[in-house]
Amino acid sequence: MPYRSSEKTRQKKDAKRTMMMQAAVRVFAEKGYHAATIRDIVAAAQVAIGTFYFYFPDKETLFVHLYEETADFLLQAIRQAIGSRKTLPQQVAVGLQAYVNIAVYEPAVVQLLLVGGVGSVPALAARRIEFREKLVRIWQRPLDDAKTLIAPQNTRRTAEALVGGYDEVILALLNHPDDASEAATAVHDMTQFTLRAVAYTGSQYP
């Protein structure tokens, strides 16, 4: 009869893997991809080095996997937030709020996506392009839905510009000494900037 691990054993393995990946996000955010070592990661996760190699063959594979998971997490949060509202002002505000919340409460995640490994992990290039493409499409959709209420424009290009602008504000927020108190102001300012940029003519408070 083939060996089958028990549910309890699988849960322990999953817990170790999760703990190690959470630690890795923090280590990469703090030290950068090149300076971070496997020993740093296992020390932060409080697991044996053999545990690392049980799940990943090397640091690059782990980093790419982390990037994919954190990208999916951010994309899902913004997509769900935007999908929960009907008007452009509301969609922009809640989408940005979701992004800012992650930046404030999970800064290592955003640091990993925006800064970590830039130019240092060749295997990440295609995944970065894919992530940015998905993010642009998420922001383009509400613009397309509101075409009768915004100035005629290439919504694809507008979404690309907005995504880049949002990232700059988020990076500045991460470096702000009191990012939590600055968060609400950032969301308001970015929302108003977006509505001005697209020349929105509808009611902002329906």
Could you tell me the residue ranges of all domains in the chain? Answer: 1-56, 60-197
Averaged pLDDT, 69-84? 95
Averaged pLDDT, 55-70? 90
Phi, psi of 32 (to 5 degrees): 85, 160
pLDDT for residue 19 is more than 50: yes
Which segments of the chain does DSSP mark as H helices, in order?
7-31, 38-45, 49-55, 59-83, 88-105, 107-114, 125-145, 155-174, 179-197
Q: How far apart are CA 40 and CA 32, in angstroms?
A: 12
Contact 127, 60 (CB under 8 A): no
Query: Would you place residue 43 in the very low, low, confident or very high pLDDT band (cuts 50, 70, 90)?
Result: very high
pLDDT for residue 185 is more than 60: yes
Averaged pLDDT, 148-172? 96
Overall CATH class of domain 60-197: mainly alpha
Question: Any idea how long the chain is?
Answer: 206
**What pLDDT score was predicted for residue 143?**
98
Q: How far apart are CA 137 and CA 95, in angstroms?
A: 13
Average pLDDT along the chain: 88
Q: Tokens at residue 202, please?
A: 């509808």
CATH for 1-56 is 1.10.10.60
Averaged pLDDT, 132-147? 97
Rg (alpha carbons) of the chain, rounded to whole number: 20
